[in-house]
Structure 1
Amino acid sequence: MKIAIASGKGGTGKTLVSTNLFNVISRQGQKVSLIDCDAEEPNVCEFIRGNVEEETLTMTHIPLIDSHKCAFCGKCQEHCSYNAIIMLPTIKTIRVIEDSCHDCGACVYACQYDAITEKEKVTGSITQYSISANADVLESQTEIGIYSPVSIIGQTINMAEADTLTLLDSPPGTSCPFIATVERADYVVLVTEPTPFGLNDLKLSVETLRKLKIEFGVVINRFGIGKELIEDYLNKEEIAVLGHIPFDKRIAETYAKGDLITDKIPQYRELFEKLHQNITKQLQR
């Protein structure tokens, strides 16, 4: 089972929810993994610390075109859906724009003249941390200069064990990294806040998940500062509210120190245990 914790914008408390949910589930003895899918800015390990078990480099394949073998027929360019190949037949020039290549292999398949081979390029790394006997964390991280984390996100999620409850800490927003994460989930927990910005981006996330036909519910963070903004919308759309996290100065203080509120403040351990129960009920419907 894979549960993604996502939001339409940054700063709503997505990592707060994913790390503390992971903490209470692991303390209950259930086998659980937390994957930090925000490969451009991973921060789960600021709050959950463990021993490095394994580090793997992630690669992509970039086509190399031999202009001496190339017949400049244009087939490779036609098959490239990402416009990553530039060809100027009149001056016998053909080039690959590496940053636009998505490693789909279509150009290699299309070439009938064996003019295209591939080279490997390091795109990032995946680090596995052991937290306890039943819990671990996988952190994805892109190399500097890699413009899209989509490939490394997919590779990291693929490393999750089939018999483990897996929490996916999604990148913010509703762009490609968000899609690459939530499309692999069985259920999505959307974290929002009762502000105009929070409502606007929640609507974008809801619209996206409905198009993808993925079940979801909502956690309202910083509850108590304008709740009518969010709750009126959720009631109208008949969206499940999984839990409320109050607007509490102690949360900010604990979070700023890199600690987990479920360790430091007993009432929040109970809150997140209840959140876990509510998610489980939604999954069993």
Structure 2
Amino acid sequence: GVESQPVELLVPRINEDKCTYCGRCAEFCQYNALFVAGETALVFPELCHSCGGCKLVCPEGAIEEIPRAIGEILRGKHRDVELVYGRLSIGEPLAVPIISKVKEQAKEDGVVVIDAPPGSACPVVEAVHGSDFCLLVTEPTPFGLHDLKVAVEVVKQLNVPMGVVVNFAGIGDAKVYEFCEEEGLPGLLEIPFDRRIAELYSRGIPFTQEMAEWKPRFQKLLYEVERLAK
């Protein structure tokens, strides 16, 4: 079965019997989660990053923190693979707390694979931070090259070793490969632009199950990642 547990953030609640509407909480908040005007104080919980600063700066002690659910962590198992994943509630903008909770659930022994979202924003930083290795998946197109360059700079700042897998190999041009060579990034695997792979993917079937020749290639990929990991 699948186990589930909620993920909650602490957000402010204002006691209007104590509040003098001085506005210090709103002045402090960098995310505009509080608004004070006249004798009105509003909280926008979806914008709150749960830092607790508003409670600390309130001179009247009029702010308390209450839990607010933003999603859940689910855990399941298939054969020898244990899966832990986070589900953000619809409309919630903050994925970082979910990712952080998922990482807390990871076991220390064995191989842990963290599937990061695309891009280079805060969720990616949280997913990659503290990892032993980052495997960047790109494609040989101008869009792929642009995103790869940004991602490489982020991972450099995090001081995490990295390598590259090229998906849709065979389309586009050679600029992704040239960039990897310039940066000294190891190219660890190429996955071709192949109709059969796409058809299997569309049916939810890992193509290694139907295309046995790919299993040793992914085994070699794992070996190379473990060898290069810090």
SS at match of 2:17: coil
Residue 128 of structure 1: how far off its partner (Å):
0.4
Structure 1 position 182 matched with structure 2 position 131? no
- Out of 202-211 and 75-84, give the one that drifted further: 75-84
The aligned amino acid for 2:29 is C
Paired position in structure 1 for 2:197: 251
Determine if contact 1:261/1:269 at 8 Å carries over to the other structure.
Answer: no
Paired position in structure 2 for 1:264: 210
Paired position in structure 2 for 1:110: 57
Matches within 5 A, 1:29-178: 51-52=1-2, 54-88=3-37, 91-132=38-79, 134-178=80-124
Task: Give unpaired runs (5+ residues) of structure 2.
Answer: none
Residue 209 of structure 1: how far off its partner (Å):
1.3
Alignment TM-score, normalising by the size of structure 1: 0.76
Number of residue pairs aligned between Structure 1 and Structure 2: 230
**C-alpha separation in 2, matches of 1:244 and 1:278:** 14
Paired position in structure 1 for 2:140: 194
Paired position in structure 2 for 1:48: none
**C-alpha separation in 2, matches of 1:277 and 1:212:** 23
Q: Once the two structures are aligned, what percentage of the paired residues are identical? A: 35
**C-alpha separation in 2, matches of 1:104 and 1:160:** 24
Task: Give unpaired runs (5+ residues) of structure 1.
Answer: 1-50
CA RMSD, Structure 1 to Structure 2 (Å) = 1.7
**C-alpha separation in 1, matches of 2:110 and 2:39:** 54
Residue 227 of structure 1: how far off its partner (Å):
4.9
Alignment TM-score, normalising by the size of structure 2: 0.93
**C-alpha separation in 2, matches of 1:281 and 1:212:** 19
Change (3 A) 1:190 1:209: same
**C-alpha separation in 1, matches of 2:4 and 2:22:** 42
The aligned amino acid for 2:43 is V
SS at match of 1:140: strand
The aligned amino acid for 1:65 is I
Residue 124 of structure 1: how far off its partner (Å):
0.8
**C-alpha separation in 2, matches of 1:192 and 1:253:** 20
